[in-house]
Structure 1
Amino acid sequence: MNVFMQLWRSLYSPKDIARFRFQKIGKAILYVFLLALISSLPLAYHLSTNFIDGIRYMGSLFENEIPSFTIENGGLRSSATQPVIINEHGLTIIFDSTGQVTKEKVERATNAIGLLKHEAVIVTNGQAQYYSYTMFSNMKLTDRDVRSFLETLQSLLPVLIPLTFLFLYIFTSASKFIGVSVLAFIGLILRSTLDKNITYRHTWVMSAYSVTLSTVFFAIMETLQTAVPYPAFLHWFVSITVLFLAIKEIPSVKTHD
């Protein structure tokens, strides 16, 4: 049975998962790498798309919306006489070289970037971080420098995106292997409870296939950008349930009078 048929059977058949326990451990390891790939692709796609769109948007913003400016000697200077406030895509951008906008006003936004008179404020999900311009005390930063940096970043995207996916895939693979190994230990407890004659190698292989349903479900939800409540609890509940049903399909140890 090829790996894709095993993937399909693992979605609905605990009996087949029980039969997979006899296969070589190497095949199960490759299967976990496949599940890691399935988990990584939707997230990598959305991260890459958002990153590309974000760079393009910021480039357009500094080209057309934000006035020319200079940051030096700990202060923001420009020819603007009024603050520039932009609200788009759930993000508030405030440019103020006049000193009229306070950091407290920027903090009220859920997601915001504030280039204020003496500091930059970045708010992410209501959490604010501050960056004083004094860190540029020995240098001069202009809007041209920012646009040049964004252009350089955009030219590096063909390299940055594959590297991002690689790191994401490695992290996801490591998480999958750790999760499967923990689930396999839980399988040993289930083995004792159900009186089945299987080893840790068997429970590890079965655990690799038992996480299939949860992995595919969350990959679909990530693709659709749909939030799932209590994802960790749901993942472990489904995986343990599938593993329990698979172990239950194994013939019990026979006792002799």
Structure 2
Amino acid sequence: MKMNIFKQFLKSLYSPKDIAIFRFQGIGKTILFVFLLTLLSILPTTFQFVSAINNGLELSKDVLKEEVPPFIIENGQLSVESQAPYIFEEKGIKIIIDGTGSVNQSDLNKSETAIALLKNEFVFMAGGQAQSSSYSMFPEMELTNQDIVDFIQSMEGLKYIFLPIMFLIIFIFSSGIKFIEVSILALIGLLVKNLLKRNVPYRQAWRMAAYSVTLPTVFFTIMALLQTPVPNGFIINWFVSILVLTLTIKEIPMKKQKIEAP
């Protein structure tokens, strides 16, 4: 019985018996399913990233115009007319201007979204992931508050080009990770099928593994949307995936025992 990819998605959430049947389908449809799972899994990250960019640009522009003390970046370092770090937080976004060197990138790890001009580098934190650039990469650079405000205004027009490119990069990278995950799970499936004495070649184990990761993928996507951290998430992900794959392999008939003639 042929089934469209969305029905397969629903079935793979709760039915090892149906996942076992999917092992006979074409590899192209399974690969497409893995791409669908990847797309689903990156939606929370993409949403948070886009929100951080939009809110961060607008807030940064206002803060740099009205709140931040005068500063200049030259000779690879930030100089501020202040003896203490400037820290501003609003709408879940933290902005830090520090010319003293007392703040470093590790201090931002607890922030979900942050923009920091530190003594020697610029750091942007979105979705808990940090991206940094050292001023020394641009030794001839000289920037002031107003220069950065002008740059932010130009970026607001370019974000409609920049954001789709970033989404594509995230999707390609995440797809690679998902394919590696499915391939490793399929190898584990070969060990399981030997223990359960089932006849399952690797190509079929790979197809079943692709559908076995559906349940944990959906679970962690929902948790990410709710911005709820899951303790030991890595272990839970693999435990559930292996459990679903094991139940799926059990649905396959056992090898027929050869009866020796008397």
TM normalised by structure 2 equals 0.81
Counterpart in 1 of 2:111?
Answer: none
* Matched residue, 1:147: 149
AA of the residue aligned to 1:50: A
Alignment of 1:1-257 (within 5 A): 1-72=3-74, 85-88=86-89, 89=92, 91=94, 93-94=96-97, 102-104=100-102, 106=103, 110-111=107-108, 113=116, 138=140, 140-257=142-259
The C-alpha deviation readout for 1:6-27, integer Å capped at 9, x for no partner, is 1111001111111111111111
Distance 1:59 1:52 in 2: 11
Q: Give the TM-score normalised by the residue count of structure 1.
A: 0.82
Q: SS state of the match for residue 209, structure 1?
A: helix
> CA shift at 1:107, angstroms?
5.4
Once the two structures are superposed, residues 75-107 of structure 1 have per-residue CA deviations (whole angstroms, 9 ceiling, x without a partner) of 8677x67767333147363466xxxxx433x35
CA distance in 2, matches of 1:108, 1:30: 39
Query: What is the CA-CA distance between 1:57 and the residue it aligns to?
Result: 1.2
Number of residue equivalences: 245
Shift of 1:110: 3.4
Gaps of 5+ in 1: 97-101
Gaps of 5+ in 2: 109-113
Partner Cα separation in structure 1 for residue 245 and residue 107 of structure 2: 42
Q: Which deviates the most, 134-143 or 62-71?
A: 134-143
- For residues 22 and 160 of structure 1, do their structure 2 counterparts lie closer, same or farther at Cα, with a shift above 3 Å needed? same
Distance in 1 (alpha carbons) for counterparts of 2:28 and 2:150:
49
* Counterpart secondary structure, 1:66: coil
CA RMSD of aligned residues (A): 3.1
The structure-2 alpha-carbon separation of the partners of 1:63 and 1:25, relative to structure 1 and needing over 3 Å to count, comes to same
Considering only CA atoms, is the larger Rg found in Structure 1 or Structure 2? 1
How far the C-alpha of 1:135 sits from its partner, in A, is 7.5
SS in 2 for 1:169: helix
What is the rounded CA distance, in whole Å, between the counterparts of 2:254 and 2:32 in structure 1? 29
Aligned partner of residue 96 in structure 2, secondary structure: strand
